[in-house]
Structure 1
Amino acid sequence: MTTSAPAEESAQESATTTDDLRRSRRPWRRTRIALLVIAAVIAVVAVTTSVTPWPSALLIRAVFEKGGDATAAEMQKHVPDVELTEQLDIAYGDAGADTTMDVFAPASAAGPLPTVVWIHGGAWISGEKENVDPYLRIIAAEGYTTIGVNYTIGPEGVYPLAVTQLNDALAYIDEHAADLGVDPQQIVLAGDSAGGQLASQMATLVTNPDYADIMAVEPSIEASQLVATILNCGVYDLAALARLDGIAGWGFKSAMWAYSGTKTWAEDSTGATMSTIDWVTADFPTTYISGGNGDGLTWLQSIPMAQRLDELGVDVTTLFWPAPHEPSLPHEYQFHLDLPDAQTALDRTLEFLDQHTTR
C-alpha cells in the first residue's frame, strides 16, 4: 500500500514536533539536575556544619590568612634599615611549629633589653607569628627585644591548650633570658585581636591568684616581672560577643566553637574564663589599649575594657578615635602602616614603652 504525500508530510511533522519537544525539555532537565545537586550539596554542608566546626573554621582561616599575608607585606615596607639579630623558630615546647618563637633585638645591644612578647591574632583559629614579625622588627629597631610566639590554634587544639602553651613560652623566656637578650624584670605582654584576648588572659593569670586557681595554671613568671600590657583590637567580654548576629556573629561563633571544642562555650567555663573583663584586678599592669572607630569590637570590647581597668585604678593609656573619624579605621588598623593613623598608633605605642621601661 502506498502512503499518500500528505500522510508522509504529516508523519514527518509529527516526528519533528516530538523531537523539538524532547530537545526543549533537555535544558530544564539539566537545570533540574543541577538544582538537585546544589540542594544536595547545601544539605550536606548544613548537616556537616551543624555537627562540626571544621568547614566554617577552615573557610574563615583561608580569608584571614590572605589578609594576614597582605598586611605583613604592607608592614614590611616600613621596617627601618637597622641591623637586628634574629633568632627564628626557637622551640619552647614539643608541639612542632605550634610551640616556636621568633626573637628580634638590635645588633648594637650590649646587654638584656626590655622585652615585648607579642601574641598574634586570627580569631583563635588562624594566624602565625610571621604575621607580626615586621611589626616586631620595627619595635626592636627602637631598642627592645621583641618576641613573636606561636600557639596551637583551633580546631587543631582546643581551649585552654593555647593558654598553657603561652605559659610554657613565658617559662622558656624567663629561663633563657640571657641567651635571648631579655631583661626578665621588664616583660611587656602584647597582642592583637584574639592575641589581645590572650595577652590580657596571661596578664590576668600573673596578677590574680584566684583566677590562676580557677584556671588550674601556675603562672611561670611573677607579677613583678610584668611591667605593662599592649592590647590592640581585642576581645575581653565573651557574653557580649555571643550576642552578635549577622555575618560577624556567625564568624565569631564559628571560631569560638572551633577554639573551644563546644557549641556551648558562651554558657560554660570557656566563656567565663576567657572574659578577662570580669577577672582583672587593681594589680593588672599598666596598659595601652586601642581600636579603630570602624571596628565593632572597639565599642563592644576595647572601650568597656579600658573603662573597667580605669575603674579599678589601673594606669591606662588609650587611643580611640571619634565615631565619625575619616577614614573609618578597621579591625587591626594599627598594622596598616600606610595609613597616617596607624603611624600615630605606632608612635603612641613606642611612647608608652619608653615611659614604662628602662633601657
Structure 2
Amino acid sequence: MLKNRNLKLSCAAGMALCLLSSAWSSQETEDVALTVDGIDIPIVVLTPEQGKGPFPVVYHVHGGGWNGGTKMEVPGAGLPPESKVLCDELGIVYVGLAYRGKAQGTFQDAMDDLRASIKWFESNKKRFNADTSRVGFSGGSAGTPLSALLAQEMSSCKTYVGLFGVYNLLSNEESLFPDEEACAEYDLVSEQQKRAASAFYHIRKNPPATLLFHGALDILVHPTQSERFAEKLKAAGAEVSCTIYPNANHGYLNPRNPEEYKDSVLKIADLYTQHLTRYSLDVDGLSAQLDEMLERYFPLEKVNLAEVVGRWKAKKETLEFSADGTGTSTNQKGESRPLTYTVNADRIDVSIGQNKMVYYMQNDRRAIYSIYPEGRFAGRKEHYTRQK
C-alpha cells in the first residue's frame, strides 16, 4: 500500500482544492475550431494569467478508445493531467484538441481534424498570447497514435509526452487495444494503413525530446509499446526517457495515484524547462506545492470506525456500513447483498459472501478505495465517495 512518508506535507487536507485555485490561476477558454460535415470540433485553451508572453504551446490529444460522442457530436477536448499545475508555474499555453472518433469518422479524419484545429489556433495565437514556434505535444492512450504522429511531422515540435501509449499498430499483439475490431471500425485494416498510423515508422530527423510513461501492470496497452518506441527514438538520436511504474495499470497518471503523479509532473516540468519554456524551474517549490495538493489523496494511517459508518458510492456499487460491523453492497440494478466488516489500523476488511476485499480511506476522509490485486485491472483503484 502507498504511504506518504517520503513526501513533505505541510498543509491540512481540506486545503488541497484551494491550492488549485490560488497557486495556479490559469484561464480556460472553450471554442469551436472547425465544423466538418455538420460536426463541430471543439477546442479548449488554458492560458497563464501570470508572467510575460508570448508563451510556448503544448497540444494535447485525449484518449478514450476512439469511442464516445454520437454520430453528429465528437467527444470533448481534454487537457493533460499536469496542465493545471504547469500552465502558470512554467508559463505554458495548453491546448486540448478534439477529433472524430469511430462513431463519426476514420483515423485519417481524426488526423485532418487535429491539423485543422492546430491551424485555427495558429491563426488565433495573438488572442492567447502564444508563441507557436515553440511547441510540444502530449497524448494519452488512444490519443498517442495521433499525437505522436503530429509530433514527428511538425518541425516546430520540441517535446513529446506519451502516457500509456500505442506507437506501433503492426506489432501490438501483446495488447488488448486496439484490437482488430477497433481498427476495422476506424478504417485501419491493411498493413499500409496501420503503418501510416504508427509513429514508430515515421520518426523524423532531430526528433523532439521525449518522455514516455507506462504502467508495468497495463495489459490494455502493453508497456512494450513505450519501451520499443523509446529504443527506436534513441537510435534516431532523440533525447528520450521511458518510465515504467511497477504497480500501475492503464490510465493511472492522476492525483488519485499521488506518488506516480508527482513523479511524472516533476519529470514533465524538467523536460519543458530544458526544451520549451524560458522559465526556470524551482524544483523544491513545485515539489512542495504538489505535496500540499496531493496530501488529500494519500491513505489515512489510522482509520476510525465512526468515520467508516455511512454510505459510499462508486460507479457500479454502493456500500453501506453500519456501526455494528454489518452492512450492504448494492449494485446498479438495485440488488443488495449483506456484508460484514472490521476496521484494522489503516484498512477496512470487508466480506461479501465468499469475496474478501480491503479498502483504504483517503486523508480527506471523502473517499475510500480498493486496489484490484490481479487480472486486467490489477493495480487499479476503485474509488467510493462519501454520500450525505
User: Normalization by structure 1: what TM-score?
Assistant: 0.65
Matches within 5 A, 1:240-251: 240-241=171-172, 243-244=173-174, 248=176
Compared CA separation, residues 287 and 305, structure 1 to 2 (3 A): same
Are 2:241 and 1:299 equivalent residues in the alignment? no
Local SS of the residue matching 2:190: coil
Letter in 1 for 2:33: Y
Deviation readout 1:256-301 (Å, 9 max, x if unpaired)? 22222xxxx3434321211221221333211111111111334331
Compared CA separation, residues 333 and 130, structure 1 to 2 (3 A): same
The match for 1:38 is none
The match for 1:230 is 161
Local SS of the residue matching 2:273: helix
Distance 1:358 1:146 in 2: 12
The match for 1:184 is 132
The match for 2:86 is 139
RMSD: 2.5
Choose which of 186, 208, 221 in structure 2 pairs with 1:259. Answer: 186
Choose which of 28, 35, 38 in structure 2 pairs with 1:94. Answer: 35
Distance 1:356 1:109 in 2: 18
Shift of 1:236: 0.9
Letter in 2 for 1:93: L
Compared CA separation, residues 313 and 134, structure 1 to 2 (3 A): closer
Deviation readout 1:153-186 (Å, 9 max, x if unpaired)? 1132112001011111111122211112211111
Local SS of the residue matching 1:198: helix
Range 109-118 or range 306-315, more displaced: 109-118
The match for 1:108 is 50
Contact 1:287 1:317 in 2 (8 A): yes
Compared CA separation, residues 133 and 237, structure 1 to 2 (3 A): closer
Matches within 5 A, 1:28-47: none
Letter in 2 for 1:342: Y
**The structure with more strand, counted as a fraction of residues:** 2
Deviation readout 1:66-93 (Å, 9 max, x if unpaired)? xxxxxxxxx98984532222211x1211
**The structure with more helix, counted as a fraction of residues:** 1
Local SS of the residue matching 1:320: strand
Shift of 1:228: 1.1
The match for 1:4 is none
Contact 1:306 1:318 in 2 (8 A): yes
Distance 2:65 2:28 in 1: 27
Compared CA separation, residues 76 and 255, structure 1 to 2 (3 A): farther
Shift of 1:354: 1.1
Distance 2:237 2:17 in 1: 37
The match for 2:115 is 167
Compared CA separation, residues 98 and 134, structure 1 to 2 (3 A): farther
Letter in 2 for 1:158: T
Letter in 1 for 2:186: Y
Distance 2:86 2:121 in 1: 18
Letter in 2 for 1:233: F
Letter in 1 for 2:25: E
- How many pairs does the alignment contain? 254
The match for 2:59 is 117
Distance 1:173 1:227 in 2: 18
Matches within 5 A, 1:1-359: 79=20, 81=22, 82-88=24-30, 90-95=31-36, 98-126=40-68, 128-129=75-76, 131-132=78-79, 135-142=82-89, 143-206=91-154, 223=155, 225-241=156-172, 243-244=173-174, 248=176, 252-260=179-187, 265-296=188-219, 297-321=221-245, 325=246, 328-359=247-278
Distance 1:77 1:332 in 2: 25
Gaps of at least 5 residues in structure 2 are 1-15, 70-74, 279-388
Contact 1:197 1:236 in 2 (8 A): yes
User: Normalization by structure 2: what TM-score?
Assistant: 0.60
Deviation readout 1:98-121 (Å, 9 max, x if unpaired)? 411111122124321111111101
Shift of 1:303: 0.5
Larger Rg belongs to: 1
Distance 1:144 1:231 in 2: 18
Distance 1:267 1:97 in 2: 27
Contact 2:68 2:103 in 1 (8 A): no
